[in-house]
Amino acid sequence: MAADIGFGSLFITLIVALYGVGAAIYGERNKDNMWVDSARNAMLLTFPLLTISVASLIYLLVTDQYQIAYVARVSSRSMPVYLKVAALWGSQAGSLVFWSWLLAAFASAVTLRKWDRERDLLPWVIVVSLGTLAFFLVMNIFFENPFAKLWQTAQRVVIAMTAPENALPLVPRDGQGLNPLLRHPGMVIHPPMQYLGFVAFIIPYAFAMASLITGRADDSWIRITRKWTLWAWLFLSLGLVLGMRWAYDVLGWGGYWGWDPVEISAFMPWLTGTAFLHSVMIQEKRVMFKQWNMVLIILTYDLVIFGTFLTRSGVLSSVHSFAQSAIGPLFFVFIALTLTASLGLVLYRWDDLKSKNSLKSFFSREALFLLNNLLFLGILVASFWGVIFPLISELATGQKVTVGPPFYERATAPLFGGLMLLMGVAPLAAWGYSSWKTLNRSLVKPFFASLTVIPVTFALGIWQPWYAVLAFWLIGFVITVTICEFWRGSMSRARRFDENFFAALWQLVKRHRRRYGGYIIHLSMILMALGILGIEVFQAETQGTIAQGESLQLGVYSMTYERLDNFDTDDGRNLARAMVSVSKNGKEVGKLYPRRDYFYDSQQFVTIPGVRSTLADDFYVILIDWKPISQAGATFKIYHNPLVKWMWIGAWVFTFGILVAAWPEKKPHSPRQTRIRS
């Protein structure tokens, strides 16, 4: 019953979405606002309708209705309720419904805004959003139906919505259960965050398309979607970081990022999105590079679709891939249409988007922003090429190749370094007229101040490799410059308005939220860079099989194997949990419990490391194996990951920075207000 309601609701949503597209176009053509309003109502209707579908699916999951093929695949009786709910995005069909639901939520939210001055954009925003939604719904209804049931005929098991001839319902006693790797709090939030980030980018894209179609060459689409873009960027970034954290905590290989094609395809829209966030400022401040911003937002959205295509069509094989499915060709048609239509529109309006670009200096803020864009796109090209090259190689020569971490690290590390340098220099450059002389003058102090980092790294015994020393200096440089910006701004306010320092700081940030929120984000990036540098360059590891009471050494650390417990849990796992004690310089600093969970329902293992995390370093222990008979010996792999905690701290700072920059204004009285506050 719930399945029929859910499926019916999906189907009705599709019809409503298609109607909305038609009504919007008809209304726009005939300048008939009634039709446009009707389309708008259609758009608003999609959200409650899809909520019914999603609620039905959650209901089916939570109530263990294993006749539903999807429920039987991703859920099981032993799973706790929150995981049954999370199983909504545990596999292809459910995650597509979830995706559509988020899309409807965003599209509805944007429809609710006031449309006084940009009414001409409305029909096209509806067409783009509902068109995309309709596509995802078609995939759900015709190819990946999460509500389809299991039926037993004389010969075989059939998955269908209604009973085939001579078939009896097949109700498995229990489901296969969610992939154990997904049964982790990080995985419960990582996919929704990632999807939120992906889906939210449709809003700026829809507005960009609308302004291309209507031929509005002004920057209203940028102004309207500025906050949306920030939120989208926050979700996308958090999705990436949560994915890293999940990999670090669950995958048990001592790392957080493997340059896997699917990771990269989530990273690519982040690159162009970040470039976009910077370059729109040039358009807002100096009315330049309109064409470029259009290109960037289209790239970002298309990379989202492209990444989804790669993950879900089976073109690439990866740990993240969904099982091969029939949606590949349909998705291909969609991606081809999106790319062709966006590109065609940009080229069609190319001349209208021309702006009188003028740069007074190579060292002005806008010039440095362009350099920033160049570096981001450089990283994008290397990433994209690395993902696509194995495909080309196999097609051209039949030879499968791997493009792995060394390739990406070599290709992107210098560019990341360049971006760090820019984070240090660009905030000091002024819009328009900055010259080498003025820039130089403001650079001198922080530059020399930051040089003190180098003797400190030497004192800590870090001489090698040279690029690590350079990177430490860069980190110090950016931190110095950024803190100086806060300091000088507050001090000058404090003097001018006779405020105390903290009041001045508060006012400064409050009044220029985007600017100072941006600086906080720079700081967060630098903190993350510190963590990445620590683990990438200074990670050490060792592995060995030891008996109880014996120890493994790694640097100043030593780890003693004390005992192993093997027991069942009531949520359907068998745990092998080792207890080890960790000593640093001969002094015990704590106990860790690395373990291996065996999931009875899916017959899979998950390795959960024991981690002792401090600001200076992580001590990370994986239980690789143990001997079940004697329980005497066990194989451990231990990693020493310096500074990695700063990555997670950076993520918190990042979120804070976005909140500072994007939190809604208190009094949005006049439409002017949003323009002034940036």
Partner 1 sequence: MRPFERQSPIIFLGIILLSLGLPHVATAQDPTPSDDEVNAIAKQLYCPVCENVPLDACGTQACIQWRGIIRDKLAEGWTEDEIKQYFVDQYGDRVLAEPPRRGLNWLAYIVPPAAFLAGVYLLYKGFQTWKTPSADHASPQESVSKTTAADDKYISRLEEELRNR
Partner 2 sequence: MKKVLIWGGLAILLVILALGLNKSQQGQVSVGQPAPDFALTSFDGEEYHLADLQGKVVVINFWASWCTSCKPEAVDLENAWRNYQGEVVFLGVDYVDTEPEAKAYLAEFDITYPNGPDKRTKISQAYRVQGVPETFIIDKSGTIAHVQIGPFYSYDEIIYIIEPLLTE
Instruction: Please give the residue ranges that form the binding site for partner 2 (CB under 8 A).
Output: 309, 313-315, 324, 328-329, 332, 335-336, 339-340, 343, 347, 388, 391-392, 394-395, 398, 400
Asked if residue 317 binds partner 1 (CB under 8 A), the reply is yes
Q: What is the DSSP letter of 87?
A: G
With CB under 5 to 8 Å by kind, the binding choice for 29 among partner 1, partner 2, none is none
With CB under 5 to 8 Å by kind, the binding choice for 585 among partner 1, partner 2, none is none
Residue 57 CB, nearest approach to partner 1 (Å): 21
With CB under 5 to 8 Å by kind, the binding choice for 332 among partner 1, partner 2, none is partner 2
With CB under 5 to 8 Å by kind, the binding choice for 313 among partner 1, partner 2, none is partner 2
With CB under 5 to 8 Å by kind, the binding choice for 398 among partner 2, partner 1, none is partner 2
Residue 360 CB, nearest approach to partner 1 (Å): 6
Report phi then psi at 254, rounded to 5: 75, 5
- 598 SS3 class: strand
Residue 357 CB, nearest approach to partner 2 (Å): 17
Q: What is the DSSP letter of 255?
A: -
Asked if residue 437 binds partner 1 (CB under 8 A), the reply is yes
Among 33, 51, 393, 581, binds partner 1 (CB under 8 A): 393
Two tokens, residue 585 = 């310089």
Residue 566 CB, nearest approach to partner 1 (Å): 11
Asked if residue 2 binds partner 1 (CB under 8 A), the reply is no
Asked if residue 374 binds partner 1 (CB under 8 A), the reply is yes
With CB under 5 to 8 Å by kind, the binding choice for 509 among partner 1, partner 2, none is none
Concatenate the DSSP letters of all residues of 24-82 into one string.
HHHHHHTT-HHHHHHHHHHHHHHHHHHHHHHHHHHHHHHTT-TTBHHHHHH--TTS-HH
Residue 183 identity (one-letter amino acid): R
Rg of the Cα trace of the chain? 27
Which of residues 51 and 357 has its CB atom nearest to partner 1 in the complex?
Answer: 357
With CB under 5 to 8 Å by kind, the binding choice for 8 among partner 1, partner 2, none is none
Asked if residue 506 binds partner 1 (CB under 8 A), the reply is no
- Long-range residue pairs from 412-416, CB within 8 A, at least 24 positions apart, any chain: 412/378, 412/379, 412/382, 412/383, 413/467, 415/375, 415/378, 415/379, 415/382, 416/379, 416/529
Asked if residue 678 binds partner 1 (CB under 8 A), the reply is yes
How far apart (Å, rounded) are the C-alpha atoms in residues 619 and 644?
10
Task: Give me the torsion for CA of 345, 136, 129, 219, rounded to 10°.
Answer: -50
With CB under 5 to 8 Å by kind, the binding choice for 329 among partner 2, partner 1, none is partner 2
Quickly tell me which residue has 């949003």 as its tokens: 674
With CB under 5 to 8 Å by kind, the binding choice for 336 among partner 1, partner 2, none is partner 2
Residue 261 CB, nearest approach to partner 2 (Å): 12
How far apart (Å, rounded) are the C-alpha atoms in residues 550 and 565?
17
Which 27-46 positions form the footprint of partner 1 (CB under 8 A)? none
Which of residues 59 and 467 has its CB atom nearest to partner 1 in the complex?
Answer: 467
Two tokens, residue 588 = 């015990």
Two tokens, residue 452 = 């003190």
3-state SS of 138-181 is HHHHHHCCCCCEEEECCCCEEEECCCCCCCEECCCCCCCCCCHH
How far apart (Å, rounded) are the C-alpha atoms in residues 546 and 594?
15
With CB under 5 to 8 Å by kind, the binding choice for 598 among partner 2, partner 1, none is partner 1
User: Do 179 and 602 meet the contact criterion of CB atoms below 8 Å apart?
Assistant: yes
Among 404, 465, 549, 590, binds partner 1 (CB under 8 A): 404
Run of H or E including 238 = helix 220-246
Asked if residue 603 binds partner 1 (CB under 8 A), the reply is yes
Two tokens, residue 498 = 């006779």
Which 247-276 positions form the footprint of partner 1 (CB under 8 A)? 251-255, 258, 260-261
How far apart (Å, rounded) are the C-alpha atoms in residues 622 and 615?
20
Residue 18 CB, nearest approach to partner 1 (Å): 33
With CB under 5 to 8 Å by kind, the binding choice for 318 among partner 1, partner 2, none is partner 1
With CB under 5 to 8 Å by kind, the binding choice for 407 among partner 1, partner 2, none is partner 1
Which of residues 325 and 581 has its CB atom nearest to partner 1 in the complex?
Answer: 325
Report phi then psi at 525, rounded to 5: -65, -40
State the CB neighbour count (10 A cutoff) for residue 396: 8
User: Do 148 and 10 meet the contact criterion of CB atoms below 8 Å apart?
Assistant: no
Which of residues 355 and 551 has its CB atom nearest to partner 2 in the complex?
Answer: 355
Among 433, 448, 458, 463, binds partner 1 (CB under 8 A): 433
Among 417, 625, 655, 659, binds partner 1 (CB under 8 A): 625
How far apart (Å, rounded) are the C-alpha atoms in residues 277 and 284?
11
Q: Find the DSSP H helices in 287-326.
A: 290-313
Kindly tell me the sign of the dihedral angle through the C-alpha atoms of 307, 312, 313, 314: positive
Binding flags for partner 1, 212-251, as an x/- string (CB under 8 A): ---------------------------------------x
Which of residues 411 and 649 has its CB atom nearest to partner 1 in the complex?
Answer: 411
How far apart (Å, rounded) are the C-alpha atoms in residues 271 and 230?
14
Residue 581 CB, nearest approach to partner 1 (Å): 21
Which 514-553 positions form the footprint of partner 1 (CB under 8 A)? 541-545
Asked if residue 302 binds partner 1 (CB under 8 A), the reply is no
Two tokens, residue 390 = 């194995």
